[in-house]
Amino acid sequence: MPTRGQQRDTSRDGFRNKVEATLLSGLKPFWGLVNVTPWLARIANRLIVNNAVMKAPCRPLALSTQASYTNWSTLSDRTWFSRYLPAVPQDRLPPVAEVATLFKLRPERPPVLSDRSSLLFPSFAQWFTDGFLMTDQDRRRTRTNHQIDLSQLYGLNPTVTAALRRRSEAAGEKGKLKSVTSGNGEWAPPLYDATGRRDPAFALVPEPTHLPGDWPIEKRAALFAFGGERANSTAYTAAIGTLFLREHNRLCTLLERNNPGWDDERVFQTARNINIVLLIKLVVEEYINHISPYWMKLLADPSASYTAPWNRENWIPVEFNLLYRWHSLVPTDVKWGAANVALAELRFDNRTLLQDGLVTAFASASQTRAWRIGMFNTTPMLDGVEMASIQQGRDNRLASYNDYREVFKYPRVTRFEQISSDPLVVSELRRIYVSVDQIEYFVGLFAEELAPRSAVPPLIGRMVGADAFSHALTNPLLSPHVYNAGTFTPAGMEVIERTSTLADLLARNDMVPAGTRISMEAEGYQSVA
Amino acid sequence: MPTRGQQRDTSRDGFRNKVEATLLSGLKPFWGLVNVTPWLARIANRLIVNNAVMKAPCRPLALSTQASYTNWSTLSDRTWFSRYLPAVPQDRLPPVAEVATLFKLRPERPPVLSDRSSLLFPSFAQWFTDGFLMTDQDRRRTRTNHQIDLSQLYGLNPTVTAALRRRSEAAGEKGKLKSVTSGNGEWAPPLYDATGRRDPAFALVPEPTHLPGDWPIEKRAALFAFGGERANSTAYTAAIGTLFLREHNRLCTLLERNNPGWDDERVFQTARNINIVLLIKLVVEEYINHISPYWMKLLADPSASYTAPWNRENWIPVEFNLLYRWHSLVPTDVKWGAANVALAELRFDNRTLLQDGLVTAFASASQTRAWRIGMFNTTPMLDGVEMASIQQGRDNRLASYNDYREVFKYPRVTRFEQISSDPLVVSELRRIYVSVDQIEYFVGLFAEELAPRSAVPPLIGRMVGADAFSHALTNPLLSPHVYNAGTFTPAGMEVIERTSTLADLLARNDMVPAGTRISMEAEGYQSVA
């Protein structure tokens, strides 16, 4: 932790970056006014979104992880990640195990809590990015569809989707996903039966990633049949998946009632389309606003992308995949109702969720503080995952942290003290890397000190912003011929307009007791003006 | 044929369309000046290209041939064609066989020759579009990559490409495609041996589409191993494929010499990239300029697309696939050297080509006049193909000709006389369809009268222009981070800059006798000012 009063050397933050930070993270009364003046908010939103995206090179990028020079494959074969910078030799780097010590908790430093984020923030980030960040075994290829398509719920391809659907033309059943209803609401069906065997109806649904082979039968029996291979990772990701499943089936009831002539297929497809757009709305209006240190409330206004030079088919860069390893945000223990529970107990185990219900899970995530993102702050359970991430950067022969600063319009740092004011971070970086130019990308991302009001460090924030907007707002469902009542129905458009937060979604799909706080923000924190 | 002096009713041509035609197809001295003033030409080119593309709805379109309403598949599954208009019932249409009589030659009307195009024009169109217009058996799906990627030469996927490459690291061999050299130059290797059996090395190369099972052994033995399933359709398509094969191998020699450290793979990939861009240059600067009735010489300037709202991932519309059925341009007989030969004799038979050489084939196509595109002018050999095209329009339940006029910013016609001044066209359309609103899309396209200086009728011209630019100029090889000497090498960039026509390409790859005319234009015709 920084010694009180000690300051980071900001001489390499960049003049324009400083001016932007001053204008956007300051002037709170001005932005408060903008936020309540719709026409002004739309203009400001468009400027901010464009400025954020233009910090990154526009797609198409010239390279992928397939080859170190441009060829037809790097321009067309999306089973590889794209990449911002060419591969470079990794031979002068310190051992991975040594670098991994930068992430480990230290006996002399208790874990630092975030003053900004609740556990709902990293839980949503995990569940959300598991929809499009899939790394294959060799760490260079991907199975993603490169789109926000709610594959966590519906699966990566039509075969999986078909297995998860009821496919019934009966009244009240049209378009719905399979589900079971217990005393406290609707849930995805179990993936395994009570004896621990896979339900053959879900033979094509992916096996949960990293589920141990000897996982206890009673925990296994509480796992859900979700389209995403990581959707059961914790009770929190399972809760978010459940919320979107309930919303899907709720939308089906609504659509069937309003469109009596529709068949199962059309009800399903339209509910899915609306559900995807709801996710995009949450991503921009709740999640990105939580990440953003600005006082302006950013809007999911797709027209901001219609004439933008960054409106190009999405293709996930390997650097984007890696920067999302927010392991240090994850706490060791959580508040669940009145109890303290080890998060490890909620891994691949939805029994507590099934018993206490959806609201309890969301309230738990909202009242538990996330840990602060950064060095020396990863819960021991995730030490191995940090190491795998460092290794993935090397397998993909990524350029250095300083090289990536340049790509994203930050001046190169020349001293360790420009990265952090924390003496331990500075001394350990210096000991391990000797020169700032040697610091590798993955380490630099997390070594950077948080700016005031920031949920993530500067370079991560910039890269997430650029990719989030250029990825989310260019979804084909938001495009000019598609984003209309003809696609979603008038009732669907109304649902879309009414939804900005997980709390909105939860209120429609469970009984939320008055006064229950559902928020990505740590208690007492305020994101926008 | 129109009676002399009879005029088409132009009252539904549209005011803006008329003004544009007057300005762009007139004012020859002005455009002559623009053509020789580079900075002015670039500005004019950008305006004309944008105007041409914006006549069509921008991608992404909401629908594909998969379903009649927008769903995630119609927005993401590119194994279907996209479509501009929703499916409509086809139940009130006249029998296909009756409609097909509109295309058949009539005893009382001799075939009409084009005053504009040589046979090189439809031959190139056929070979070029066979690279991305592939219809599956059910007439609604496609196997295309939706890109100009020279799949006619390299195949649709890496497996085919691998079979066609030499894969040798020996000096002078790097990057090259397999080939054989005879007394008159280099050719693709034979797909079958002298006994008519497929060469097992090419087991994964596609079988030529529509090749009769009982095709004579001696003709079969002259077919080439090309990546494209239609590349052997005639000696002319085979000749164009051969030209690009020779250019590929020529580029490999050049690249290997300039880059001694490169391996086979890199030489291959870079030669392929350059070759694809050469094709795009020809498409815009020779082919589109031949189609365009304007006096302005259009340029393959990719920057025209960089900030355009139409720069979106390509996805072939089924309507675009159908409008390219230019069967009526194909003559029954051709001039080949001093002889007249039935074109049917050059089908799936490259013996004459192999014997007389590439220049003879290109000269033959250049000195043979194409027939004029339109009604009652299809060589009998292709009658069945016209019928299949009409059927494909119906299988895809396309909207009417008038509906498509509206989409592409032409007023709906209200009288048959607004389509053509040819009394037979008018009377036969009226007899078969009764009302102009009943005319189906495919028929309307070809019933329209050619405007002065036009190679194709107005609606086809407009749709080809819109799609050609938005398809060709958005190729990833032309994108801002890619279109540079880093991708193509300085020598590669120079080759790209020096190439505008098939004649340019042929001069580098064969001995062209002085005075040999290689052109898509009929003798005596001049495209641009």
How far, in whole angstroms, is CA B179 from its chain's centroid? 25
pLDDT the model gives residue A452 = 87
- Cβ <8 Å between A149 and B307: no
- Cβ <8 Å between B276 and A60: no
- Cβ <8 Å between B147 and A476: no
Residue B330 has pLDDT above 50, yes or no: yes
At A56, the amino acid letter reads A
How far is B488 from chain A, CA to nearest CA, in Å?
A: 9
Q: Residue B358: which pLDDT band, with cuts at 50, 70 and 90?
A: very high
Q: Is B149 on the interface with A (CB under 8 A)?
A: yes
Compute the C-alpha angle B127/B133/B137, nearest 5°: 120
- Which phi and psi angles does B114 have, rounded to 5°? -75, 140
Choose the mutation target among B54, B59, B72, B479 for the interface with A, i.e. most A CBs under 10 Å: B72
Radius of gyration of chain B (CA): 23
pLDDT the model gives residue A529 = 67
The mean per-residue pLDDT over the stretch B100-117 comes to: 96
Choose the mutation target among B58, B75, B274 for the interface with A, i.e. most A CBs under 10 Å: B75
Query: Closest Cα to residue B463, out of B478, B444, B439, B435?
Result: B444
- Paired tokens of B226: 């090309």
Residue B327 has pLDDT above 70, yes or no: yes
Burial label for A194, CB within 10 Å (0-12, 13-18, 19+), is: exposed
Residue A410 has pLDDT above 60, yes or no: yes
- Which phi and psi angles does B135 have, rounded to 5°? -100, 135
pLDDT the model gives residue B378 = 98
How far is B260 from B267, CA to CA, in rounded Å? 10
Q: Summarize chain A as % helix, strand, coil (round to 5).
A: 45, 10, 45
Task: Round the average pLDDT of chain B to a whole number and report it.
Answer: 95
How many residues are present in chain B? 529
pLDDT the model gives residue B5 = 53
pLDDT the model gives residue B37 = 95
Residue A1 has pLDDT above 60, yes or no: no
Sequence ranges of the domains in chain A = 151-288+480-509
For residue B100, give the H/E element and its range: helix B96-100
How far is A245 from chain B, CA to nearest CA, in Å?
A: 17
Residues in chain A with CB shorter than 8 Å from the CB of B68 are none
Count other C-beta atoms under 10 Å from residue B182's C-beta.
10
pLDDT the model gives residue A526 = 73
Sequence-distant (≥ 6) Cβ neighbours of residue A15 within 8 angstroms: none
Residues in chain A with CB shorter than 8 Å from the CB of B487 are 62, 69-70
The mean per-residue pLDDT over the stretch B88-106 comes to: 96
Q: Residue B453: which pLDDT band, with cuts at 50, 70 and 90?
A: confident
How far is B437 from A314, CA to CA, in rounded Å? 41
Q: Which of B72, B479, B481 sits opposite A272 (nearest CB)?
A: B72
Residue A527 has pLDDT above 80, yes or no: no
Dihedral through CA A221, CA A227, CA A233, CA A235, nearest 10? -70
Residues 340-369 of B with CB under 8 A from A: none
The three-class DSSP label of residue A441 is helix
How far, in whole angstroms, is CA B12 from its chain's centroid? 29
Sequence-distant (≥ 6) Cβ neighbours of residue A308 within 8 angstroms: A50, A53
- Cβ <8 Å between B486 and A62: yes
Choose the mutation target among B77, B264, B280, B481 for the interface with A, i.e. most A CBs under 10 Å: B481
Q: Which residue has the tokens 């991975």?
A: A96
Query: Closest Cα to residue A43, out of A285, A282, A298?
Result: A298
Q: Is A76 on the interface with B (CB under 8 A)?
A: yes
Q: How far apart are the first and last CA of chain B?
A: 29
Q: Is B73 on the interface with A (CB under 8 A)?
A: yes
How far is B474 from B478, CA to CA, in rounded Å? 7
How far is B86 from B77, CA to CA, in rounded Å? 17
CA distance to A521, B39, B507, per residue, from B498 (Å): 60, 18, 12
Residue B200 has pLDDT above 70, yes or no: yes
pLDDT digits (tens, 9 = 90+) for A421-467: 999 999 999 999 999 999 999 999 999 999 988 999 999 999 999 99
Residues in chain B with CB shorter than 8 Å from the CB of A71 are 266, 269-270, 272-273
Query: Closest Cα to residue B372, out of B455, B451, B443, B445?
Result: B455
The mean per-residue pLDDT over the stretch B42-59 comes to: 96
Q: Is the pLDDT higher at B6 or at B341?
A: B341
pLDDT the model gives residue A3 = 46
The mean per-residue pLDDT over the stretch B45-71 comes to: 95
For chain A, percent of residues with pLDDT exceeding 70:
99
How far is A483 from A492, CA to CA, in rounded Å? 11
Sequence-distant (≥ 6) Cβ neighbours of residue A24 within 8 angstroms: A31, A48, A293, A294, A295, A296
Q: Sign (positive/negative) of CA torsion A301, A302, A303, A309?
A: positive
Q: Residue A228: which pLDDT band, with cuts at 50, 70 and 90?
A: very high
Residues in chain A with CB shorter than 8 Å from the CB of B481 are 57-58, 60-62
How far is B159 from B178, CA to CA, in rounded Å? 15
Residue B4 has pLDDT above 80, yes or no: no
pLDDT digits (tens, 9 = 90+) for A30-49: 999 999 999 999 999 999 99
Burial label for B59, CB within 10 Å (0-12, 13-18, 19+), is: buried
Residues in chain B with CB shorter than 8 Å from the CB of A149 are 72, 76
How far is B177 from chain A, CA to nearest CA, in Å?
A: 16
The mean per-residue pLDDT over the stretch B513-518 comes to: 96
Q: What are the beta bridge partners of residue B342?
A: B333
Choose the mutation target among B53, B63, B70, B264 for the interface with A, i.e. most A CBs under 10 Å: B70
Residue B482 has pLDDT above 90, yes or no: yes
- Cβ <8 Å between B72 and A306: no
Q: Is A388 on the interface with B (CB under 8 A)?
A: no
Q: Is B272 on the interface with A (CB under 8 A)?
A: yes
Instruction: Please give the biggest Cα pair distance in chain B.
Output: 70
How far is B80 from chain A, CA to nearest CA, in Å?
A: 14
Residue B1 has pLDDT above 60, yes or no: no
Q: Is A485 on the interface with B (CB under 8 A)?
A: no
How far is B377 from A220, CA to CA, in rounded Å? 71
- Cβ <8 Å between B71 and A273: yes
pLDDT the model gives residue A351 = 97
Q: Locate the chain B residue with the closest alpha carbon to A487.
A: B70
How far is B275 from B254, CA to CA, in rounded Å? 13
- Cβ <8 Å between A72 and B479: no
Choose the mutation target among A66, A70, A80, A307 for the interface with B, i.e. most B CBs under 10 Å: A70
Residue B521 has pLDDT above 80, yes or no: yes
If phi > 0 it is left, if psi is from -120 to 50 it is alpha, else beta; for residue B211 that is beta
Q: Residue B2: which pLDDT band, with cuts at 50, 70 and 90?
A: very low
- Cβ <8 Å between B476 and A58: no
pLDDT the model gives residue B505 = 98
Residues in chain A with CB shorter than 8 Å from the CB of B72 are 149, 269, 272-273, 276
Residues in chain B with CB shorter than 8 Å from the CB of A407 are none
Q: Is B424 on the interface with A (CB under 8 A)?
A: no
pLDDT the model gives residue B3 = 46
Sequence-distant (≥ 6) Cβ neighbours of residue B216 within 8 angstroms: none
Least confident of A273-277, B92-96, B108-112, B135-139: B135-139
- Cβ <8 Å between B270 and A60: no
Sequence-distant (≥ 6) Cβ neighbours of residue A339 within 8 angstroms: none
Q: Is A159 on the interface with B (CB under 8 A)?
A: no
HSE-up (13 A, CA, CB side) for residue B293:
19
pLDDT digits (tens, 9 = 90+) for B216-240: 999 999 999 999 999 999 999 999 9
Q: What is the 3-state secondary structure (H, E, C) of B115-177?
A: EEEECHHHHHHHHHHCCCCCECCCCCEECCCCCCCCHHHHCCCHHHHHHHECCCCCCCCCCCE
Q: Residue A5: which pLDDT band, with cuts at 50, 70 and 90?
A: low
How far is A153 from B456, CA to CA, in rounded Å? 49
Residue A24 has pLDDT above 70, yes or no: yes
Q: Which of A67, A76, A487 sits opposite B147 (nearest CB)?
A: A76
Q: Sign (positive/negative) of CA torsion B327, B328, B331, B332?
A: positive
For chain A, percent of residues with pLDDT exceeding 90:
94
How far is B137 from chain A, CA to nearest CA, in Å?
A: 22
Q: Is A273 on the interface with B (CB under 8 A)?
A: yes
Dihedral through CA B437, CA B442, CA B448, CA B452, nearest 10? 150
How far, in whole angstroms, is CA A69 from its chain's centroid? 30
- Cβ <8 Å between A76 and B145: yes
Q: Which residue has the tokens 């208690």?
A: A523
Residues in chain A with CB shorter than 8 Å from the CB of B486 are 62, 70
Residues in chain A with CB shorter than 8 Å from the CB of B266 are 69, 71
Q: Is A266 on the interface with B (CB under 8 A)?
A: yes
pLDDT the model gives residue A443 = 98
How far is B190 from A82, CA to CA, in rounded Å? 38
CB burial string A426-453: b at 16+ within 10 A, e below: bebbeebbeebebbbbbbbbbbbbbbeb
pLDDT digits (tens, 9 = 90+) for A290-348: 999 999 999 999 999 999 999 999 999 999 999 999 999 999 999 999 999 999 999 99
Q: Is B50 on the interface with A (CB under 8 A)?
A: no
Dihedral through CA B409, CA B411, CA B412, CA B414, nearest 10? -160
